[in-house]
Structure 1
């Protein structure tokens, strides 16, 4: 690693001030992406601002219609939360399938969303459930948050504080993981929400996206068979050593049908 200044603020205001005063500062919470990048000398920030000392970024709250998760909440805490398991069991199951125990006990939901890795799990839940991302400056709807590969609507110095998930009528998430890394090669999050059917696909393309054709089909008949015959454009899919674009396009349909079945129980 290169030398850097380390800060551990106790408030959002202090964190924002430290970043604005740094020549090239970075926020860190779980560090599941940033720390390996630093170790490989692919990044050399002047300052690291640790968000783990900010109490308001931690915790889980369930109301009558929503589940709110603090940005610094670990994946393991979401997976083991009895309240989330009751309100949105699919969200708890998704969190329990992220990486391995070490990753789940260090990684945070806010860090995952801010990084927006195409192979991350949480973006599918946020987009699939129509969640709202709260920051220290504003509220951002899920449909407006994810803008491209490793890109989001977050502005410089903006910090995710909580993520608010509406409780759906039913939901299911199924992914095809890379057998070595457990990263998502193709995943599908299907939800029957108060505002309609939502289908979010992750891993397949450069950025998580909604599959509108599948949503329209499921709105007419919420069953796996409703998705038969729906094709996904391979030209929009990722193509790498792990899977071809054509294979990923095929898996989109397979995972989506399985996600519907999971939602049906």
Structure 2
């Protein structure tokens, strides 16, 4: 009788799963839903498209605030992808702000979207957004041959002995020339990449400025001559003109070349 009772107890404990206890149901692994977004950038001046790289934009940041919770959190996407989908976020009703950011911080924002409802295991597409960017900036440069007496004094007097200089400016992406007019001190100098104009020696204290340039990453090329030889000093730096009317301030160092006749 005791053996029969033990057998019955064993059968009840094991259930109907072939001799093993039934496994509990798996919990729902999805705590919320996702959001997806498409974005684009346009120039403030004329509404034409502009690339993330041209304005130095690295990321698009979503600032999400769940109305049922205190505070908020962010989701960050690479600007150049043009679209993104968040990881799962808790269900609820959200208000969302949008930021376009670069290496130095905020570039611009897009209008807030409010009352977005996130449901479990569902993706909620946001309305596409457009960032309007002031895609112009300025630059204020100096040129330095790193000689004690400066760029223009003679080599005998510890100067660089430079007698003339040429400057060109090309967009790094695509290589197009930027035919702007620079101010060398108070003297205008128009960029001509195909046939650069030679101007006199530019002293290291003389500002080279441009008040309004398309924001972008550029390669500037500077060639400096001495009396008996050309291209005795060179510079091929890359420079970034920032957006939002900000000014790039920088000194460009000239490197001596080993050309024939250079001192």
TM-score band w.r.t. shorter chain: under 0.3
Specify the structure having the higher radius of gyration (Cα): 2
Instruction: Return the structure number with greater relative CO, CA threshold 8 A, min gap 6.
Output: 2
Task: Identify, as 1 or 2, the structure richer in strand.
Answer: 2
Task: Identify, as 1 or 2, the structure richer in helix.
Answer: 1
What TM-score, normalized to structure 1? 0.22
